[in-house]
Structure 1
Amino acid sequence: MAKNTSDSIEEYIKQLLAQSGIAEIKRSNLADAFQVVPSQINYVIKTRFTESRGYTVESKRGGGGYIRIARVRFSDQHQMFDNLMANIGERISEQVFTDLIQLLFDEKIISEREGNLILATATDEVLGKDAPEIRARMLRKILQRLDRKGFHL
C-alpha cells in the first residue's frame, strides 16, 4: 500500500524520536523537506502525536521557534494505568479510545488480537447513542482489570 505524505512525515518524526527520545523540529524546514505547506506539518502533529497516543508536544513560535515532541515514558505499568485512569472523563470519542487501545498495544500490555477485539466492540455502531459514556466506562474497567491482574505479554 502506498504511503501518503502525512504517513511519511509521521514516520520521519518517529525515527527522530527513536534516535534521541525527543524530536525537535522547525515546522518550515520540515515542510520544505517534504515539499508541503507548514499547515500539513501542523495537521500531522495534531492528529498523530496526541496525548492519547502517548506523546507530549511543546511549541515555541517566532523566528527561533520549534516544535518539540516527546514520547511519554512511565516508570512502570501501574503509573501508566493511574495516569490514564485519572484522565478518563465521562465521555470518550471513538478516536481517543482507539488511540488509547493502540497505546496499550504499543506498550506491549495487550496483543494485537485483544486490541482488535476491544475496538470491534467499542464502535459507535455497536454501542449506539450512549457510545461515548459506555466507552469511558469500558476503558476504566479494562484498565482496572489489567492493573489488578498485572497482565502483560
Structure 2
Amino acid sequence: MAIKNTSDSIEEYIKQLLAQSGIAEIKRSHLADTFQVVPSQINYVIKTRFTESRGYVVESKRGGGGYIRIAKISFSDQHHMLGNLMENIGESISEQVFTDIIQLLFDENVLSECEGNLILATASDEVLGQESAVIRARMLRRILQRLDRKGFR
C-alpha cells in the first residue's frame, strides 16, 4: 500500500468537500492548521492540482476574511467541453498541461486509458524535441478536432 504524502491528503480533503456540495470554500490558514503545514503548502496543492487544465476554477480572496473557492468545471455536453478546450489552447503547451488535459478527457470518458497512454507516450519533450511545446499544441488541437467530429462511443 502506498503511503500518502501531505499534499495528497490535502488534495483528497478538498476533493471530498467538492463531492459534497460541488464547491469547496476554504480558509488557507484553517486548512494549514488542520494539516499542520505552512499556508504556502496549501497554495502549492491548489496551484498544481486544481488547475483549469484539470477541470477546476479557483477564485481567491486574500486578507482577513480571505478564502479560496474551488469548483469543478461542468460542461453541458462533451461537444461543449471539447470546444472549450480547443478555444483555450495557445500556440504552445507544456507537457504538464497536455498531460492534465488528456487525464481530463479520460476522466470524462472521452478517451480510454489505453488511448490516453498512447497519446501521452508520443507527446513528451523527449520524443518531440526542440519545438515540443509548439508541436504538442498542434497535436492537441488536432486530437480535439478529431474527437469532436468523430462523436463518442
Q: TM above 0.5, one fold?
A: yes
Q: Is 2:108 aligned against 1:110? A: no
2: CA distance, partners of 1:78 / 1:108: 13
How much identity, in percent, do the aligned residues show? 83
Alignment partner, residue 127 of structure 2: 126
1:6 is matched with 7
- Structure 1: give runs of 5+ residues left out of the alignment: none
Q: How many residues end up aligned between the 2 structures? A: 152
Partners of 1:89 and 1:80 in 2: how far apart?
Answer: 16
TM-score by length of 2: 0.97
SS at match of 1:75: coil
Do residues 88 (structure 1) and 89 (structure 2) align?
A: yes
Aligned equivalents of 2:34, 2:112: Cα separation in 1: 36
Whichever residue aligns with residue 8 of structure 1, its letter is S
| Deviation readout 1:31-67 (Å, 9 max, x if unpaired) | 0000000000000000000011110000111111110
Q: CA RMSD in A?
A: 0.7
Q: Structure 1 runs of 4+ off > 6 angstroms?
A: none
- 2:66: which partner in 1? 65
* 1:129 match: secondary structure: coil
Q: Which runs of 5+ in 2 are unaligned?
A: none
Q: Matched residues in 2 for 1:112 and 1:16: separation?
A: 27
Q: Normalising by structure 1, what TM-score? A: 0.97
